[in-house]
Amino acid sequence: MSTTSPAPRHTEAARSEIPPGFAALIGILAVGAAVGAGELVAALISPASSPVLAVGNAVINYSPEPLTEFAKSHFGTNDKPILLSGMAVVIVVVAAAAGLASRRHPRPGVVTVVVLGLAGLLAVVAATVFSPLDVIAPLLSLGVGLVVFRLLHGLALRTYRPLPVGGEPTTEPPGGSRDGAGRVSRRDVLLGSSAAIGVVSLGSGVGGLLLANSGSSSRNAVTAALAMATLAERAPAIPAGASFAELGTPTFITANPDFYRIDVALRIPTQTASDWRLRIHGMVDKETTLTFADLMSRPLVERTITLTCVSNPVGGNLISTANFIGVELRPILLEAGIQPGAQQLFTTSIDGWNTSTPTDVVLEPDRGALLAIGMNGEALPPEHGFPVRMIVPGLFGYVSGTKWLSDMEITTFGAQRGYWYRRGWSEQAPIKTESRIDRPLAGTSVPGGRLTCAGIAWSQPTGIQGVEVRIDGGPWQAAQLSTEVNGRTWRMWRTDFDVGPGNHTVQTRATNHDGAVQTQTTADPIPNGASGWPATTFTAV
C-alpha cells in the first residue's frame, strides 16, 4: 500500500510585492501628479492657492530670524530658488520612501499623500491672503495624488502577482492586458505612469505659461502708455562723469534685469493694471480708492533714485539705481486728509506682505515719495512690483518699498506692526552714510606700482559730499568724486596709490552733505542696517 502526498493547494500564493525601484517611482509619480494638478488649478483660479508655494511661504514666515538672515546673506537673490529646490528634494525623498514602504500594501503611501495634501491645505488656509476658492487647488491636489497612487499601486501589484503554486500562465491574448494568472501587463503600468507624468507636465507647464502670460499684455500696454505720456517732470540726463564704470564701479543706472531683488514672495504676484486698486483708509478724513487709470490721469514724474536693502552687509551689492516714473504720494495723502496722531502708512501687497512707513517722512515736501508705475522707461517689471509699488527715498526698502501695492491704512505704530518689525527689525529705518570698494577686488593680485582704487558711496536723500581712502592704516586722502546727479542717488569715487609687493588693505569712509561721517563702529544688518568702514585686502606682485 503506497502513501501519496497531498496535492498542493493551487489557491495559495505567495504575497505580492512590488520591486523597490518601481515602488519608489510610484510614490514619486503620485506626489508629482498631485503637485502638478495643484499648480494647474491654482494658475487657473488663484495663484495664491498653490499648495507648494503656500508651504514655502509658511517656511519663510515661521523661520527664526537668524536663519532668514543667514539665507539672505549667504544666498542673496538666490534664496528663493534654493528654498524651492530644497523643498523639491524633500518632497521627492518623502514620496520615494512612501512608495518603498508600500511594496505590499498601499496604506503607507496613502497616509503620506494625505498628510502632504493636508499640509498644503492648512498652509493655504493659514496664508495672509485667503478666500474660500483657494481651497479648491489643495483639495484637488490631494484627490489627484490619492487616485494616481491607488491606480498605479493596484496595477503594479497585479503586474507582480506571483503564479499559483504549480500553475502556469496562459498566453496573453493579442491586445490583452492580463495573462492567465490575472496579472496586468507592464504596458498598462507604463500607460498609467505616463498619464501621471502627463499631469505633472501639464500642471507645471500650462500653469507656468498662464501665470507668465497673465500680466505680460497688461505690462506691454502700460509701457506703451508711458512712452506716449507727457511727464510733468522728467529726470535729467545722466552726465558723462556720473560713474567710473571703466574703473570697475557699476554703471550709474542699473539695468532692470540686474536690479537687486529682496522680498519674501516665492511666486511673483500677478495682477493686471486694469484690476489694480489701492484703498487708502484709516485715520483719514476721506477714504479713497484709486485705480490705475486714476494714477495715469495725475501728473507723472520721473526721478533717478537709488534703493538700498537693509540686509546689505558692509561692502555688499544689495543697492541699485533706476529712473522711476510715478505719482507723488504726498498730494494724494493730503487730499485724503491725514488726521492728527497718525504715525504710519501700513501698506499691504497683493500677496499679504505688509510694512510700516513713518507718515512724517512721507509727508516731507522734498522727500519725493512715489507710487511708482515705471522703471527705466518701461512698466515696472513683475519682480519689482507691477502694477504699482511704493518708493520713499532715504528709507530702507523693508519699511518703504512695498511692491504689488494694494492697501494703505493710515494708523499708529501701536495699532499695526509690519512684517519685518514683528521679526525684530527697527521701526524707523533711515539709510546710513555708507561706502563700498569695487576696485581692487578682495583677494585678487594686482601689478605693483600705481594702483587706482574705485567704488561707490551713498547717503540718501542727503547725498555724498566726500569720500576718504587710506591704505594699510596710513593717512586718509580725499578721493575724486563723480559728477553728482542728486542727493537721492549713489555717487562714485576714485583715487590712486603707489603700492609695493605684498599684501595691502584699503579702507574708505564717506561724508554726506550734512557733515555726517560714516561710522567706524561695526554693526550687523539687524536691526537697522550694517555699519563700519569697508576694507579690502589684495596682493601686489
What secondary structure, in 3-state letters, does 471-504 show? Answer: ECCCCCEECEECCCCCCCCCEEEEEEEEECCEEE
- How many Cα atoms occupy the beta-carbon half-sphere of 532 within 13 Å? 13
CATH numbers and ranges of domains, the chain? 20-164+179-214 (no CATH), 240-423 (3.90.420.10), 434-540 (2.60.40.650)
Question: What pLDDT was estimated at residue 71?
Answer: 74
Q: Please name which of 48, 383, 50 lies closest in space to residue 203, comparing C-alpha atoms.
A: 50
Give per-residue pLDDT as tens, 209-220: 555 555 688 999
**Rg of the chain's alpha carbons, rounded to an integer?**
31
Q: Cα dihedral angle (393, 399, 401, 402), rounded to 10 degrees?
A: -150
Rounded Cα distance, 58 and 127, in Å: 8
Question: What pLDDT was estimated at residue 11?
Answer: 42
Q: Please name which of 317, 314, 319 lies closest in space to residue 524, comparing C-alpha atoms.
A: 314
Rounded Cα distance, 345 and 358, in Å: 6
- How many Cα atoms occupy the beta-carbon half-sphere of 67 within 13 Å? 7
Question: What pLDDT was estimated at residue 354?
Answer: 94
Rounded Cα distance, 198 and 214, in Å: 23
Rounded Cα distance, 115 and 86, in Å: 19
CA 457 to chain centre: 27
- How many Cα atoms occupy the beta-carbon half-sphere of 147 within 13 Å? 13
Helices 51-62 and 136-159 sit at what angle, rounded to 10 degrees? 110
Q: Is 413 left (phi over 0), alpha (psi -120 to 50) or beta?
A: alpha
Q: Which three cell numbers stand for residue 282?
A: 484709516
* Residue 515 Cα distances to 189, 358, 466, 511, angstroms: 75, 24, 9, 6
Rounded Cα distance, 330 and 336, in Å: 10
Strand order in the sheet with 491-499: 434-439, 449-458, 491-499, 480-481
Q: Which three cell numbers stand for residue 235?
A: 529726470
Rounded Cα distance, 326 and 290, in Å: 14
Q: Taking the alpha carbons of 398, 402, 406, 408 in that order, is the dihedral positive or negative?
A: positive
Q: Please name which of 68, 46, 72 lies closest in space to residue 59, comparing C-alpha atoms.
A: 68
Q: Which residues of the chain have pLDDT under 70?
A: 1-15, 72-73, 76-77, 162-215
Pairing verdict, β 464-471 and 477-478: antiparallel
The residue with cell 525601484 is 21
* DSSP tag of 138: H
Which residues are within 8 A (CB) of 213 and not within 5 positions of it... i.e. 6 or more apart? none
Q: Which three cell numbers stand for residue 526?
A: 539687524
Rounded Cα distance, 117 and 98, in Å: 14
The residue with cell 551713498 is 458
Phi and psi, residue 203, nearest 5°: -65, -50
Rounded Cα distance, 457 and 432, in Å: 10
Size (the chain), residues: 541
Q: Taking the alpha carbons of 90, 92, 96, 101 in that order, is the dihedral positive or negative?
A: positive
Q: With helix as H, strand as E and coil as C, how does 266-291 read?
A: CCCCCCCHHHCEEEEEECECCCEEEE
Rounded Cα distance, 487 and 477, in Å: 23
Question: What pLDDT was estimated at residue 155?
Answer: 84
Question: What pLDDT was estimated at residue 474?
Answer: 95
Q: Is 321 in contact with 539 (CB distance < 8 Å)?
A: no
Count CB-CB contacts under 10 A for residue 533: 20
Give per-residue pLDDT as tens, 374-416: 999 999 999 999 999 999 999 999 999 999 999 999 999 999 9
The pTM of the full predicted model, rounded to 2 decimals, is 0.79
Q: Taking the alpha carbons of 348, 425, 257, 53 in that order, is the dihedral positive or negative?
A: negative
Q: Is 305 in contact with 236 (CB distance < 8 Å)?
A: no
CA 221 to chain centre: 25
Pairing verdict, β 378-379 and 389-391: unpaired
